[in-house]
A and B are shown apart, each in its own frame.
Chain A
Amino acid sequence: MKLRLDPRAKLFLLVLSNLTLFLHVSLRTEIMLVVLLLSLYFLSGKTKSGLRMTAVYLSLVAADLFVIPIAEGFVLNFLSMLSVGIRMMLPCVISGGYAFSTTTVGEMVCAMRKLKIPEVIIIPCVTVVRFFPTIAEDYRHIRNAMALRGIATGNMALLRHPVQSLEYILIPLLMNSNNVAQDLSVASMTKGISMPGVHTSMTEIKMTKTDYLYMVLCTIPFVLFLGGVM
Chain B
Amino acid sequence: MKPTNKLTVPDLISIGVFTALYFVLVTIATFSSAALFPGFNNVVLPAVCALISGSVYMLLAAKLQKFGGISVMGIVMGMFFMTSGHFIVSFAANIVMGIVADFVAKAGSYKSRKGLLFSYVLFSYGLFGPVLPMWFMKDAYVANLEARGKDAVYIAELFANINMGTFVFAVVATLVCALIGGWFGQKMIKKHFVKAGIV
Chain A residues packing against B (C-beta within 8 Å): 14-15, 18, 21-22, 24, 64, 68-69, 76-78, 80-82, 84-85, 88-89, 92-97, 99-100, 119-121, 123-128, 130-132, 135, 163, 166-167, 170-171, 173-175, 177-178, 180-182, 184-185, 188-189, 193-194
Nearest to A171 among chain B residues (CB) is B192
Can you list 16 A-B pairs, Cβ within 8 angstroms, ordered by A? A24-B140, A68-B144, A81-B141, A93-B85, A99-B83, A120-B12, A120-B68, A124-B16, A125-B76, A131-B20, A132-B20, A170-B188, A174-B193, A177-B20, A184-B17, A194-B9
Q: Which residues of chain B come closer than 8 Å to A131, judged between CB atoms?
A: 16-17, 20-21
Q: Which residues of chain A come closer than 8 Å to B7, judged between CB atoms?
A: 120
Q: Which residues of chain A come closer than 8 Å to B136, judged between CB atoms?
A: 21-22
8 Å CB contact of A125 from B16, B63, B134, B198? B16
Bound-complex Cα distance A119 to B11 (A): 12
- The contact size tier of chain B is 35 or more
Bound-complex Cα distance A76 to B193 (A): 51
> In the complex, what's the smallest C-beta–C-beta distance from A72 to chain B, in angstroms?
9
Given A24-B143, A128-B76, check contact A123 B16 (CB 8 Å): yes
**Contact of A135 with B20 in the complex, beta carbons under 8 Å:** yes
**Contact of A127 with B24 in the complex, beta carbons under 8 Å:** no
Name B8-54 residues within 8 Å CB distance of A.
8-10, 12-21, 23-24, 39, 52
**Contact of B137 with A88 in the complex, beta carbons under 8 Å:** yes
> In the complex, what's the smallest C-beta–C-beta distance from B15 to chain A, in angstroms?
5
Given A125-B76, A126-B16, A175-B192, check contact A14 B82 (CB 8 Å): yes
Q: Which residues of chain A come closer than 8 Å to B137, judged between CB atoms?
A: 21, 84-85, 88
8 Å CB contact of A84 from B19, B56, B144? B144
**Contact of A24 with B52 in the complex, beta carbons under 8 Å:** no
8 nearest A-B residue pairs (beta carbon): A127-B16, A96-B85, A124-B16, A185-B10, A93-B85, A131-B20, A123-B12, A18-B88
> In the complex, what's the smallest C-beta–C-beta distance from B66 to chain A, in angstroms?
13
**Contact of A69 with B149 in the complex, beta carbons under 8 Å:** yes
**Contact of B13 with A121 in the complex, beta carbons under 8 Å:** no
Bound-complex Cα distance A50 to B139 (A): 30
Q: Which residues of chain A come closer than 8 Å to B68, judged between CB atoms?
A: 120
> In the complex, what's the smallest C-beta–C-beta distance from B75 to chain A, in angstroms?
6
> In the complex, what's the smallest C-beta–C-beta distance from B98 to chain A, in angstroms?
12
Bound-complex Cα distance A81 to B137 (A): 10
> In the complex, what's the smallest C-beta–C-beta distance from B32 to chain A, in angstroms?
9
- B2 at interface by CB-CB < 8 Å: no
> In the complex, what's the smallest C-beta–C-beta distance from B141 to chain A, in angstroms?
5
